[in-house]
Amino acid sequence: MLEDLEYSVRISGRARYARIVVRPDMSVEVVLPQGVHAMHAETLLKKKAFWLTRTLNRFSAYAPLEFANQNSRPELISFKSVGLDFSVTYHQTDASSVRVSDRGSELRLSGCVDDALKLNLALQRWLKRKGNALLLPILKAESERMGLDYRQAAVRLQKRCWGSCSRKKTVSLNAKLLFLPQPLMRYVIIHELAHLKEMNHSRAFWALVERYHEGCLEHRRELKQVSRWIPAWADR
């Protein structure tokens, strides 16, 4: 199986060690720190052959249900973290753009909906708006519960970072948190708020996170395996 494996190699200035990333669409990426020769990727793949085969087999089981057609237009969008589902309808018109409107649990897209790029961009803009509307009130409530105040808050759409907290007390959240189970979404929010008091990952920091979110270390590990919940159109 691995003899014919296709994979990509990415050199990362932030990576401290070499690692393998397997995505639900069965694509494999080897991430290498700067200064490590690309030939090391093949060595790493051979070393991790058993784990890699097992992981690919696991994702293969999901493929018929969730990942068979990553380019298909979604018929249902589920925000697991807040318990909301949206049924999606498409209406092709002569417009040169895609308009998105939602009423209750219905999401209507109209315009040039056959243009996959414009369709995805419209859905991503809508996702950011929903993130602002749904995630920021939760951030505010958790901030008040923890007694930790932030100065500014923002919702972005990022590929790998779930959240951040700057020294200027600006908290940023990834709109894709809406797709995660509720405990994982709350873990990320509490994690970032804890940085308002502990701008590090010391024992004091983790004790603070655990105080307000029991089981935080388990959820931290689970957060590395959540790609199966992120739809292709949102994964930018």
pLDDT tens digits, residue range 44-84? 998 888 888 887 876 665 444 444 344 468 999 999 999 99
pLDDT value of position 37: 85
Fold classified for 76-234: Zincin-like (3.30.2010)
**Torsion 53-56-61-64 (CA) sign:** negative
| Listed residue (119, 75, 70, 126) closest to 93, CA to CA | 119
pLDDT value of position 64: 44
- Please give the order of strands across the beta sheet that includes 28-33: 7-12, 28-33, 19-22
Residues 23-54 pLDDT 10s: 766 788 888 998 888 888 888 998 888 888 88
- Please give the order of strands across the beta sheet that includes 98-103: 76-79, 84-92, 106-111, 98-103
- How do strand 106-111 and strand 84-92 relate by DSSP bridges? parallel
pLDDT value of position 3: 63
Torsion angle (degrees, nearest 10) of CA 113, 117, 74, 233:
-160
Amino acid occupying residue 3: E
Q: Are 21 and 4 in contact (CB under 8 A)?
A: no
Distance CA 173, CA 7 (A): 30
| Listed residue (120, 129, 74) closest to 97, CA to CA | 120
8: tokens are: 């990509």
pLDDT value of position 199: 93
Residues of the chain with pLDDT under 50: 62-71
Every domain of the chain and the residues it spans: 2-67, 76-234
pLDDT value of position 133: 97
pLDDT value of position 89: 95
- How do strand 7-12 and strand 28-33 relate by DSSP bridges? parallel
pLDDT value of position 197: 95
pLDDT value of position 73: 83
pLDDT value of position 66: 46
